[in-house]
Structure 1
Amino acid sequence: MGLWTVAAMTAGAVGAVALVPVALGAVGFTSAGIAAGSWAASMMSSAAAANGGGVAAGSLVAVLQSAGAAGISTATTAGLASAGAGVGAVAGRLIK
């Protein structure tokens, strides 16, 4: 494994872990709840309409709001780092 691949894997892992909380907040999944008028609010409205007025526990909206409100768990962080490293590995091979 070359130096570029290792560097790209590291950057991908760190970037994925650092950017997911930022991305969640940017689309409206915040620690204070779903931001009014946001993409998250639209998503929640659609989910509630499809489920008779409520958002189902374990649904994508519920999981994303949980992550936005409480942060990302250790297991999720490890998964994000692995996914980011995988993307970095591919990118590193393309760079050389």
Structure 2
Amino acid sequence: MDKKNLTLKFESNKKSLFINGDIYKIINIEGLESSDYDISITDNNQYDGGYVNKKRIKPRDISIIADFTGIYPEQERQKLIAFFNPHNSGTLIV
């Protein structure tokens, strides 16, 4: 049987959270593929190619479903609610 290993590291508010299969089992992940982007180019009159005026990466939703396999699920739930506060920015490292 093949086993897929994936480690996710969330960083937010100087704290880190790892999801790697020990305490959390990953069930489903969506949105990790590359984002769409807009680019505006002005053609060059005298040469091939053009100039990049602006570029913008469009936002995307990332959805992760995991199962908690440890003890004290209510305490872990409160910890996760505090960690994923929408008022704090964060980083996901895959």
Structure with more of its chain in strand, by fraction? 2
TM-score norm. by structure 1 comes to 0.22
Structure with higher RCO (Cα < 8 A, 6+ apart): 1
TM-score norm. by structure 2 comes to 0.22
Bigger Rg over Cα: 2
